[in-house]
Structure 1
């Protein structure tokens, strides 16, 4: 099996409304790095995008007549759960669960503007 460098054997793939704006959200909140961006023939609809957050990759594309929205729940470790949670809310996310101390770390949940739930946790 030959997996491209920087990829893992399993990678989340999201189909999103406003997929291009997902780049901006993940950069602002989680410090994501853009890996790839390609557009449909109209040069407006995102065909395929990839970001890296730490050593993890998330792939995504734009909803279309052929592909409906396919959201996800994502668990992410961060240095400071409270600061990242606030950053997410500032960038359009809504609270799912406030940040509290849990047995596994300080954790809270937000739903991003694209319908994905992020479980933000500092171990």
Structure 2
């Protein structure tokens, strides 16, 4: 199978109300690298297609338009420090879904970003 270098066989594709807010959130909270942004041609300022990399994972996204509407997701993400990412997310406007806690699989929490995606943030215990 021939897949572009920055892609995986399966990637989320999010259709959002506020793609720019999403871009800002993932850059602030997860140090995402924006690898592609293609605006719509109709001068609305909406994003036709965007791609971001967090570590070695790519997320594709765009501004939602008719006839497709929005498509948000639950996303599980490993980070170096769940506490730090949780606080960055809250400072960036996320809502708490699950408080920080220690589980057998690591330090974890859940937040909902300003475009409706839920992030399950986990750092593995040393």
Q: Find the aligned partners of 1:66 and 1:46 in 2 and give their Cα distance.
A: 16
Give the root-mean-square deviation of aligned CA atoms: 0.7
Moved over 3 A (4+): none
User: Does the Cα contact within 8 Å between 2:99 and 2:110 map onto a contact in 1?
Assistant: yes
Counterpart in 2 of 1:95?
96
In the alignment, what sits opposite 1:49?
50
Rounded to whole Å, the distance in 2 between the matches of 1:94 and 1:13 is 22
Number of matched pairs? 123
Equivalence for 1:13: 13
Name the CA distance, whole Å, in 2 between partners of 1:5 and 1:83: 30
Measure, in 2, the Cα distance between the counterparts of 1:15 and 1:116. Answer: 10
Counterparts of 1:21 and 1:117, CA distance in 2: 14
Q: Indicate the SS of the match to 1:23.
A: helix
- Residue 61 of structure 1 and its aligned partner are, at CA, apart by 0.8
Q: Which runs of 5+ in 1 are unaligned?
A: none
User: Equivalent residue for 1:4?
Assistant: 4
Q: Does 1:39 align with 2:39?
A: yes
What is the CA distance between 1:7 and its match in structure 2?
0.7
The question of whether the paired residues in 1 share the 8 Å contact of 2:21 and 2:114 is answered with: no
> With structure 1 as the length reference, what TM-score do the two structures score?
0.97
SS at match of 1:41: coil
Gaps of 5+ in 2: none
